[in-house]
């Protein structure tokens, strides 16, 4: 049975039949997922990030704020660095800032962000307890799907953020983000449920649907709930719980 607090969180995510679904997902075993050894190799096109490898937080933040490495710098209001606990166990990677994020300089502040917060609360985490950033640090113009080259220019920033935080687990939201991070074009549905690793750091990585997608396809919230429970189990296992 789920307690009242958990019910409130799940309700905030918009899933109506929680008790039934909870029983179903409690039986999810980590063993059912692809072993960690089955990781996706680093593609030869990946950046080495040597340019960013020694930067501390203030220097890295300043580089991102002043970045002119691609054309997105011309259309953004400001770059959006990241937010949260810089010693977090869970590191979340979204795709790119939205309009609200671009205005406020913080990732996931709009409606999508509210759903992300609810997703985190559902596994007992507050937004401030995780680290949240994007594979791209600048808002892409309307109708513009960021290119692999634009993502590649941003990759050193992300790698350095991961190296500084040293999380126990990385959770990637959405197909574009996972393609940028892993340098592949495998459909997201095929990557869900696999225990992957982030190529540069070797840190375990899970993939789930983007909250934006969930706003349009609420039926997939059940799948995300399963992914979140796996993430929770992996975090607990790493913490020796
Ligand atoms: N806001 C973000 O910061 N990232 C996304 O992927 C979507 C909205």
For residue 133, which atom of ligand 1 is closest to its CA?
A: 3
CB 176 within 8 A of CB 135: yes
pLDDT in tens, 149-184: 899 999 999 999 999 999 999 999 999 999 999 999
Distance 113 CA to ligand 1 centre (A): 7
Distance 95 CA to ligand 1 centre (A): 6
Whether pLDDT at 116 is above 70: yes
Closest by CA to 34, choosing from 229, 186, 224, 191, is 191
CB 203 within 8 A of CB 170: yes
Q: What global pTM score does this model have?
A: 0.83
Query: What's the pLDDT at 143?
Result: 83
């Amino acid at each position: 049975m789920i307690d009242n607090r958990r019910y409130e969180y799940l309700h905030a995510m918009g899933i109506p039949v929680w008790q039934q679904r909870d029983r179903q997902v409690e039986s999810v075993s980590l063993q059912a997922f692809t072993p960690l050894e089955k990781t996706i190799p680093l593609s030869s096109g990946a950046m080495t990030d040597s340019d960013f490898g020694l930067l501390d937080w203030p220097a890295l933040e300043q580089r991102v704020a002043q970045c002119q490495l691609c054309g997105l710098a011309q259309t953004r209001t400001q770059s959006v660095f990241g937010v949260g606990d810089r010693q977090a166990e869970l590191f979340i990677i979204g795709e790119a800032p939205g309009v609200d994020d671009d205005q406020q300089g913080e990732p996931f502040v709009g409606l999508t962000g509210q759903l992300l917060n609810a997703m985190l609360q559902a596994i007992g985490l507050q937004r401030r307890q995780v680290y949240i950033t994007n594979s791209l640090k600048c808002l892409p113009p309307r109708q513009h799907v960021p290119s692999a080259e634009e993502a590649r220019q941003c990759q050193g920033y992300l790698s350095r953020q991961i190296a500084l935080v040293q999380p126990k687990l990385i959770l990637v939201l959405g197909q574009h983000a996972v393609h940028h991070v892993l340098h592949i074009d495998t459909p997201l549905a095929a990557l869900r449920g696999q225990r992957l690793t982030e190529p540069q750091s070797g840190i375990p990585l899970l993939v789930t649907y983007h909250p934006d997608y969930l706003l349009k396809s609420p039926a997939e919230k059940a799948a995300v709930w399963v992914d979140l429970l796996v993430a929770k189990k992996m975090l607990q296992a790493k913490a020796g719980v």
